[in-house]
């Protein structure tokens, strides 16, 4: 248990930050799920539109430090390759 006022405040802040990070990670997983579904449907133009939206979400979350920039690059690369294969 936190003993000082500073430690109690940090504990409160960490709880809020953890909830915010959880929400952002969930948004990332949902965006990746949507693009995978559009790739599986076989419509390349729809997949490209969803891909553009997903890329901005991935970049935003990586910029905030919720996921590592290399993990973001890996996701973008693999999704892009999956769309190129559709041709």
Angle at 31 between CA 47 and CA 85, to 5 degrees: 35
Angle at 71 between CA 62 and CA 52, to 5 degrees: 65
Q: pTM to 2 decimals?
A: 0.81
The pLDDT score that the predictor gives to residue 86 is 86
What is the number of residues in the chain? 87
Q: What is the per-residue pLDDT across 19-74, written as a single tens digit (0 to 9) for each?
A: 999 999 999 999 999 999 999 998 899 999 999 999 999 999 999 999 999 999 99
61, HSE (Cβ side, Cα atoms, 13 Å):
28
The pLDDT score that the predictor gives to residue 72 is 97
The pLDDT score that the predictor gives to residue 2 is 79
Q: How far apart are CA 26 and CA 68, in angstroms?
A: 15
The pLDDT score that the predictor gives to residue 54 is 94
Q: How far apart are CA 8 and CA 26, in angstroms?
A: 28
Domains in the chain, ordered, with CATH?
5-85 (1.20.58.110)
pLDDT range class, residue 84, cuts 50, 70, 90: very high
């Amino acid at each position: 248990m936190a003993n000082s006022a500073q430690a109690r405040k940090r504990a409160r802040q960490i709880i809020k930050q953890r909830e915010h990070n959880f929400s952002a990670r969930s948004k990332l997983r949902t965006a990746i799920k949507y693009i995978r579904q559009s790739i599986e449907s076989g419509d390349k133009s729809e997949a490209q539109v969803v891909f553009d939206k997903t890329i901005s979400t991935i970049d935003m979350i990586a910029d905030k430090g919720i996921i590592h920039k290399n993990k973001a690059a890996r996701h973008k690369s693999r999704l892009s390759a999956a769309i190129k294969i559709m041709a």
